[in-house]
Structures are given as structure tokens and as C-alpha cells.
Chains A and B, each alone.
Chain A
């Protein structure tokens, strides 16, 4: 087990472009979370899946953001029409039931 894997680690994109990030959780974990972290802040919750079902979304997740977990394994987070304010570290985590969350290394997005 190699832990939670995120790809890419870094992404630079021009304002207005679409970006997609991928997260591969720990294989036996049925819960998957996306968080966003800006400089000097703690992680902010974006969304949560249990298996393939998206059970909760934050108000931070505007209609430009969409997340999927089609087969209850890996997940993707897409941001459409990126804005400079979207620049942040996007963290994925997984857990088994109500235990601790294990985080990936994150994807750092820079919108120029």
C-alpha cells in the first residue's frame, strides 16, 4: 500500500482554462475527501464521498467545481473556467469508516 496518491503535484494554468486533478485513495478505504488549503490557512472542506456516492458538498464548491468517484475507487476534481482565486493546494484524503483521514501530497494549482 503506497498511501494516497495525487496527480499532478503541480499545475500552472491560464485563467479561464479547465483543470482536472486525480486522487487514488488507499485501496480499502471507502471514504474520500477533497480539501483546499491556501497559504497560512488550515485545510477547508470541499466534498466527501462514501464509495461512489457524493454525500456532502461545501458551499465553497461553486458550480465551476465538480468531483466524481465513478467506481468508488479513484476520484477526480475538475475546475472549469479557472480564476486566480482558485490558486491553492488541493488535498485529497481517504479513511475507513470514522477513523482518521490519510492525506495525499496535494496538487498545487497556480492560475496566472
Chain B
């Protein structure tokens, strides 16, 4: 079974500061991991994905995440926050052998302070 835990339901950063959103996963098999972003009343947009290739994954809008097996983590970072980054962020995990379901965390709401 797979699950993810997102620590911190709300994160606030100043514009230009480092963004760090935490995600820890639980999986009985080597997982695929994803970060999605959601703006109000919109669907989810894929930011980046880990599918067992490079452990440091770069995504859109300057975001990146590092897969750390020893820590069962897949934290999302961005060196410098922009006002447009304010949104809800979801971490998700799937079983690469079946791909029959994506398990989502409860989300982290990012606020960017001007």
C-alpha cells in the first residue's frame, strides 16, 4: 500500500525566499512520486515527477524535488518564491507496477508575502 504525508498544511514565505514543502511517503515497493499544484477552482497541474531515474528532479516554474530513499522523502523546493507561486500543492505516490491509483496527501497551502 502507498500513502503520503505532507507536513505543514500552511506555509508562508516572503517573496524571494526559499520555498520548502515537505512530503514523506510510505510504499511497499519502489514508488513513483509526483508534485502537483492547484490554483483556486482549477484542476491539478503536474509540477514534476520521480520515476526511478535521477533522484534530483527538476520541474516547471523553477521547482525541484529530491528523492531520498533513506528518509522516505520527496520534498519540493524553489530557491526564490514569486507571488504567482501562491497555491495549493499536493504530493502523490503511485505503484509503478500497477499504476492503478494515485494516492494524494492532504496538501500544503503556500502563501507568498510581498
Contacts and interface: CB of A to CB of B under 8 A. Distances in A.
B107 A48 contact: no
Contact of B106 (A42, A55, A97): A42
Report the interface size class on chain B: 20 to 34
Report the interface size class on chain A: 20 to 34
Contacts, number: 63
Given A55-B100, A103-B44, A42 B107 contact: yes
Given A48-B100, A48-B101, A55-B100, A43 B42 contact: no
Contact of B102 (A4, A40, A45, A108): A45
Interface of B: 9, 32, 34, 36, 41-46, 49, 51, 90, 94, 96-107
B106 A41 contact: yes
19 contacts: A4-B43, A40-B9, A40-B106, A40-B107, A42-B106, A43-B104, A50-B100, A56-B101, A93-B102, A98-B96, A98-B98, A99-B51, A99-B99, A100-B46, A103-B45, A104-B43, A105-B42, A106-B42, A108-B41
The main secondary structure of chain A at its interface with chain B is strand
A95 B99 CA distance: 9
9 tightest A-B CB contacts, nearest first: A98-B99, A42-B104, A103-B43, A103-B44, A105-B43, A43-B104, A42-B106, A100-B49, A106-B43
